[in-house]
């Protein structure tokens, strides 16, 4: 059985039956037939359905936001924003997919060469719990507008969200079986997902999750010679230079650290601050973090909800305690509250050095680490001293200086005087242990198509 738990109250929400092997086989077979028909449909037909899906998301946003908040603890206002963003990405691809995949003509010594973009078939998505709607729609809207079918293995603790998403596709009028969800409990997930990746119906796989999950999926996909896109963990550096607007920097850093209780691969995790402004930055950071209320996700005054699971909170606390034992200083937070729910207070850890858990590991929760840098070169060195390379940010009053640093950072994304975020108009992804491949924009659409060369001799 799959059980979902309210992380704010520790109460059981629901129980679901995991699928048997024969049920999974039926899902895959249905997806194969549906995808074969879907690929022949025009962009206009696909677009009409995707726009209908966007409209349904907007109409039903309160219902779906409530499910998100109940299952993984996100403040209700943030859950609403997540659903609205899903509608945006559906509308974006409905309006742009055809132009993104237009055949390209190339002159080859007077002979026409043609490059076409054809659907692959059925694509498997392995999706996480932290943005249970957005991660799915970010992936599915582009992949389906390209003419593919979708099978999703969602995180078990957001099974209610997974069921709601599948229902939305049917309600919007998409062909039955074109988008399907597999319900697999954690005990069987590694074996079953490995078998699904190897299944001949599956032509490619996309995973959003931990680096460990990405390695496991990529290994299976590689053995089966199937394309994969990995959007994995991060330890994003936010560099604050001595000429930065500190008020802006602190406001953005706090928002980027506490959004979704810090449970995001692109959350700000390491604040690398020039020595000349470190003390002032810390004072302002502390004042700001103390103003953020932690508690019931449905309380409109709450900025930080619970951690999604008890084991995740315990792991976060271990990282903080081990860092303190190694010499780091806890400015605020750092204690598990005596209350129901998997809550963890916004925490600032400073005097952080290499070798400490909060320096090198990804902290998936509301823990901000402050690291001092002596100059620009030192800041770049510290930022790149990580196995991860997803997002990064630079705060400076000098655009030329900030751009110079941005060009030296080992990351898939760099935002100047702004918070790292995913946007349908921009490619999104990482390097190093943060994964490979891209989602969103035209680049994301072309990850899951056959780029075919036709020579007209």
Active-site positions read: 231
Using CA atoms, how far apart are residues 73 and 295, in angstroms rounded to an integer? Answer: 10
CA–centroid distance for 331 within its chain: 29
């Amino acid at each position: 059985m799959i059980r979902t738990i309210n992380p704010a109250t520790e109460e059981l929400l629901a129980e679901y039956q995991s699928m048997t092997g024969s049920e999974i086989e039926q899902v895959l077979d249905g997806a194969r037939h549906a995808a074969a028909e879907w690929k022949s449909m025009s962009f206009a037909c696909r677009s009409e359905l995707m726009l209908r899906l966007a409209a349904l998301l907007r109409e039903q946003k309160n219902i779906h936001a409530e499910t998100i908040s109940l299952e993984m603890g996100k403040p209700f206002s943030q859950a609403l924003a997540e659903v609205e963003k899903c509608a945006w990405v559906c509308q974006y691809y409905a309006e742009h997919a055809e132009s993104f995949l237009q055949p390209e003509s190339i002159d080859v010594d007077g002979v026409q060469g043609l490059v076409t973009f054809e659907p692959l078939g059925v694509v498997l998505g392995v999706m996480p719990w932290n943005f249970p709607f957005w991660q799915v729609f970010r992936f599915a809207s582009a992949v389906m507008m390209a003419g593919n079918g979708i099978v999703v293995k969602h995180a078990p603790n957001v099974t209610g969200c997974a069921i709601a998403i599948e229902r939305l596709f049917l309600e919007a009028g998409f062909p039955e079986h074109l988008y399907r969800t597999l319900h697999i409990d954690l005990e069987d997930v590694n074996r079953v997902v490995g078998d699904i990746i190897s299944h001949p119906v599956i032509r490619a796989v996309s995973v959003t999750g931990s680096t460990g999950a990405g390695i496991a999926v990529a290994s299976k996909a590689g053995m089966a010679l199937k394309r994969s896109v990995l959007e994995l963990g991060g330890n994003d550096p936010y560099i604050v230079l001595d000429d930065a607007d500190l008020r802006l920097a602190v406001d953005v850093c706090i928002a980027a650290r506490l959004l979704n209780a810090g449970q995001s691969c692109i959350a700000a995790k390491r604040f690398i601050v020039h020595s000349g402004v470190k003390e002032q930055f810390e004072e302002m950071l502390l004042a700001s973090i103390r103003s953020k209320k932690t508690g019931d996700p449905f309380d409109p005054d709450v900025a930080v909800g619970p951690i999604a699971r008890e084991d995740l909170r315990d792991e976060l606390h271990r990282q903080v305690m081990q860092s303190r034992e190694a010499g780091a200083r806890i400015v605020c937070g750092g204690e598990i509250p005596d209350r129901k729910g998997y809550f963890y207070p916004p925490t600032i850890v400073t005097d952080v050095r290499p070798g400490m858990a909060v320096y090198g590991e990804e902290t998936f929760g509301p823990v901000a680490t402050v690291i001092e840098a002596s100059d620009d070169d030192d800041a770049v060195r510290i930022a790149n001293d990580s196995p991860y390379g997803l997002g990064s940010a630079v705060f400076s009053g000098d655009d030329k200086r900030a751009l110079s640093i941005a060009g030296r950072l080992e990351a898939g994304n760099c935002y100047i005087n702004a918070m790292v975020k995913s946007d349908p108009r921009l490619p999104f992804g990482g390097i190093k242990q943060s994964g490979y491949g891209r989602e969103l924009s035209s680049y994301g659409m072309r990850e899951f198509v056959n780029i075919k060369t036709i020579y007209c001799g």
